[in-house]
Amino acid sequence: MTTPVLGIIGTGMVGAGAARLATDAGLDVVLSNSRGPQTLTGLVAALGRRARAATTAEAAQAADIVLVAVPLSAHERLPRAELTGKIVIDPTNYVPTPQWRSPELDSDELTSSELVQRHLAGSQVVKALHNIGPRHLLDLHRPAGADRTALPVHGDDEAAKKAVADLFDVLGFDTVDLGPLSGSWRSEPNTPLYAFPYVGEPPAGLSVPELVGWVQGAPGVPVPAARVTELAAAAVRGPAGFQF
Ligand SMILES: NC(=O)c1ccc[n+]([C@@H]2O[C@H](COP(=O)([O-])OP(=O)(O)OC[C@H]3O[C@@H](n4cnc5c(N)ncnc54)[C@H](OP(=O)(O)O)[C@@H]3O)[C@@H](O)[C@H]2O)c1
C-alpha cells in the first residue's frame, strides 16, 4: 500500500490531534480550518515538514482520504465538489443546541453520518474517530500485534472502509467493521462504546463539565477488538446526540 496523503478539515482538538498522530506515523497532512491557512502557521511549524496549511477546498483536493473534524452543524459547508470521489472520515457527533438541531436525527430517521453522506453524495463516508478523544489516540497507538486498541468503523462502501482500516493500521490501531452508516448509532454518544471504554470508569458524582474534563485528562485504556464487538452488540438505540 502507498501511504496516503491525509486531508484534515478542522484543526481543533480532533483535527490537531489526528495531524500529530499522522505526521508521527510518517504521513503527509494538508490542514485547513474556517479562518484560512494564514492562521495555521503555528500548528504547521509544530507538526514539522510533513504538514502544510491550505484552504478547505485545497485540503480536500490534495488528499486521498479527508478527515472532516468540524462540528456536525457545519457539515453543509464542507466542499462537496472537491470531496467528490474522496474517502471522507467523519468523526462528528450530534450536539443539539437551540441554534442548530436536526429533526431527522431527533426522530432517529437518520444517523449523523447518513446526514453527512447525504450532503457529500459523491464521497465515500466512513464514520470513525468519533468515540475516542484525541488525547487517547495519542496514548493508545501501538505497533501491529502488540497490546493494540481497536476502533469501530461504519460505512456503506466496503473499499472505503478497507482503506480507512489500512490507514488506521499505519496509525497504530486495529479496526472493527460495524456495518453500514445506518448502524453507526451503535458507537455514538449514550452507548457503551462511546468514550468510556478508552478511559475507564470515572469517579462518581461529577458534574457534566467535570466529567468532560476528567475524560479529556484521563490516560488511555487499551480496548481490544473483541471488546469493541461486544460493546457494540450491547448498544440500545435511544435519543440521538449528547443529552445534557
Ligand atoms: N473533542 C473531542 O474529544 C471529540 C472526540 C470525538 C469526536 N469529536 C467530534 O469531532 C468534531 C471536531 O471536534 P473538535 O473538538 O476538534 O472541535 P473544535 O475544537 O471546536 O474544532 C472545530 C474545527 O472545525 C473548524 N471548522 C468549523 N467550521 C468549518 C468550516 N466550515 N470549514 C472548515 N473548518 C471549519 C474550526 O475552524 P476554526 O479553528 O477556524 O474555528 C475548528 O478548527 C466535532 O464534530 C466533534 O463532535 C470530538
What is the average pLDDT score of the chain? Answer: 95
For residue 163, how far is its CA from the centre of ligand 1 (angstroms)? Answer: 23
Cell numbers standing for residue 201 = 470508569
- Spell out the domain ranges in the chain: 6-233
**How far apart are the CA of 231 and the centre of ligand 1, in A?**
26
Cell of 235: 448498544
**Atom 40 of ligand 1, residue of closest alpha carbon:** 34
Question: Which protein residue's CA is at the shortest distance from atom 27 of ligand 1?
Answer: 70
> What pLDDT, on the 0 to 100 scale, is given for residue 242?
85
- The pLDDT assigned to 2 comes to 67
Q: Identify the CATH class of 6-233.
A: alpha beta
pLDDT attached to residue 244: 65
Strand order through the sheet with 150-155: 51-53, 29-32, 6-9, 65-68, 87-90, 124-127, 150-155, 174-177
Q: Are 116 and 200 in contact (CB under 8 A)?
A: no
pLDDT at 196: 94
Phi, psi (deg, nearest 5) at residue 204: -70, 155
Give the pocket of ligand 1 (CB within 6 Å). 9-15, 32-35, 56, 69-72, 74, 77, 91-93, 130, 133-134
Question: pLDDT 10s per residue in the chain (244 long)?
Answer: 567 899 999 999 999 999 999 999 999 999 999 999 999 999 999 999 999 999 999 999 999 999 999 999 999 999 999 999 999 999 999 999 999 999 999 999 999 999 999 999 999 999 999 999 999 999 999 999 878 999 999 999 999 999 999 999 999 999 999 999 999 999 999 999 999 999 999 999 999 899 999 998 999 999 999 999 999 999 999 989 887 6
- Beta-carbon contacts of 224 under 8 Å, excluding residues fewer than 6 positions away, are 148, 149, 150, 174
